[in-house]
Structure 1
Amino acid sequence: MRTLALDIGNTAVKYGCFAGNELLETGVVESVGAVSGLLQRLAPEHVISSSVAEDTTRWAAQWQQQISGRVLEFLPATTLLPIRNGYATPHTLGADRLAAAVGAAWFWPTRSTLIIDAGTAIKCDWVEGGHTFRGGSIAPGLRLRFQALHTFTGRLPLVTPPAELTVPLALTGDDTESAIRSGVLNGAVAEVNGFIAAYQDQNPDLQIVLAGGDAGFFQPRLKGRIFVIPELVLIGLHRILVHNVEI
């Protein structure tokens, strides 16, 4: 079975093409309108879309005309899942968080997992025992923290992360710019390590998974054995699609 998973954000569409359980290709297109070209080129049998931006009902009807199988619009509150969703308000749950949880449960079906998704926001989510999504935490990502210091103060400059995020970070900044970098970057690392320690106290056999655009920054700075799976959301979407097609 050949499938296409679409993770539709505010500025771009991430996609993953699968054959069975093998991820054949990933990439990014600039708009939802470009998906039709992907369908022509990749020729999937089934498609799943997850959007945090616009409603995709109109697009889904168009895509349905291009494929032989099913177009599934992933809605966390109503779409059937291969795991249990224990979130108290599923209608407010971000589709990317739940898709990542499904992906983690597929990799580790019997172990509790902490997913650290470091992107626009830093999300730490717990999948209990490989079978139940329990929720987690949402905090500003690195760029949001830099932006907030600049926007909501009178004189602090807008600082950007260093171009090479693997370089060592100074603990003590000796000017305003380096002090902001220390506070934002070292602070975010300390925050995430604190979450890891707290979850490990509750789950000694905890598996830690790192995803998101800033995973490369966090990977060498987090404590414990960390698995980095950049395509975790796409893999989770694929597993949700397979579950719905096969039932």
Structure 2
Amino acid sequence: MNVVVDSGNTYSKIGWFSGDHLIRYETRLGFTELIELIRSELPERIMYSSVNRSVSEFLEALDRDVPVLNLTGNTPVPIKKDYETPHTLGADRVAGACGANWMFPEKDVLVVDMGTSITYDLVDREGIFRGGLISPGVRMRFNALHTFTKRLPLFDPEKDPEFIGKSTKNAIQSGVMNGTLAEIEGIINRYRHEIPSLCVVICGGDVAFFESNLKPPIFAVPELVLIGLNRILTYNVALQ
């Protein structure tokens, strides 16, 4: 059994795989919870991807003799990268593209990952990562309104807020949520204007707020990055 770990800016995710099959996964984990889960059922190997904790810190906390592959810019992956600064390309973006390319082979796919930031990444039908966009995520927008103004309070996201807010709270929630929705729809439409047959896949922690409001055809695959990490792991095992 393989375990894949996606340690993001806020929380960690973990997935258990038997071959290509995702058996189960857990999200919104703190670092201590993550380590305890892995220790409770040690896998054959681990794929580790993190934007905030080094692999040495992970290995020290795990303190178990398990092969660990750390995803870096030099790790072989089953797609090609057409990117001017591959050393700055986030591991989660690469993993999402690998997952999308495996799930939708020989298709042009736009991956919309809705986490701390919202990323839009294009992987074409030939399996080439073409680049994309990075935008502030939902909670980052709420925090920005609160941090950079003197009187606006901090609110949480709300699904389907009233479009015309009748209070400061409602106005902020509508502005952030409907503004984000309009951004996502606008960017998808720009891509589809260039690539009419484009397949769009959304993933990430904030998918639930938007998946029902986005115009089809849209595929919601919350565990896409985990699937991509497992594909990278099996690809590297095959190279050995």
Deviations 1:30-76 (A, max 9, x none): 216853x4444333212110011121125347868523xx321000x
CA distance in 1, matches of 2:31, 2:143: 25
Deviations 1:178-203 (A, max 9, x none): 22222111111000000110000111
Q: Structure 1 residues 120 and 59 mapped into 2: Cα distance closer, same or farther (>3 Å)? A: closer
Contact (CA 8 Å) 2:113, 2:120: kept in 1 or not? yes
Cα RMSD (Å): 2.0
Residue in 2 that maps onto 1:71: 68
Deviations 1:61-116 (A, max 9, x none): 7868523xx321000x2000100011211111111111000000000110011111
Q: Tell me which moved more, 89-98 or 122-131.
A: 122-131
Q: Percent identity?
A: 43
Name the TM-score, length of structure 2 as normaliser: 0.91
Which sections of structure 2, spanning at least 5 residues, go unmatched? Answer: none
Q: 1:161 aligns with which of 157, 161, 185?
A: 157
Contact (CA 8 Å) 2:116, 2:139: kept in 1 or not? yes
Contact (CA 8 Å) 2:10, 2:116: kept in 1 or not? no
Contact (CA 8 Å) 1:120, 1:144: kept in 2 or not? yes
Q: 1:191 aligns with which of 174, 178, 183?
A: 183
Q: Tell me which moved more, 178-187 or 52-61.
A: 52-61
Q: Does 2:142 correspond to 1:146?
A: yes
Residue in 1 that maps onto 2:226: 234
CA distance in 1, matches of 2:169, 2:62: 48
Q: Does 2:51 correspond to 1:52?
A: yes
Which sections of structure 1, spanning at least 5 residues, go unmatched? Answer: none
CA distance in 2, matches of 1:144, 1:40: 33
Q: Does 2:20 correspond to 1:4?
A: no
CA distance in 1, matches of 2:75, 2:197: 30
Q: Structure 1 residues 46 and 204 mapped into 2: Cα distance closer, same or farther (>3 Å)? A: same
- SS across alignment from 1:105: helix
Contact (CA 8 Å) 1:113, 1:130: kept in 2 or not? no
1:17-28 aligned within 5 A: 17-28=16-27
Residue in 2 that maps onto 1:101: 97
Equivalent position amino acid for 1:180 in 2: I
- SS across alignment from 2:225: helix
- SS across alignment from 2:212: helix
Equivalent position amino acid for 1:80 in 2: P
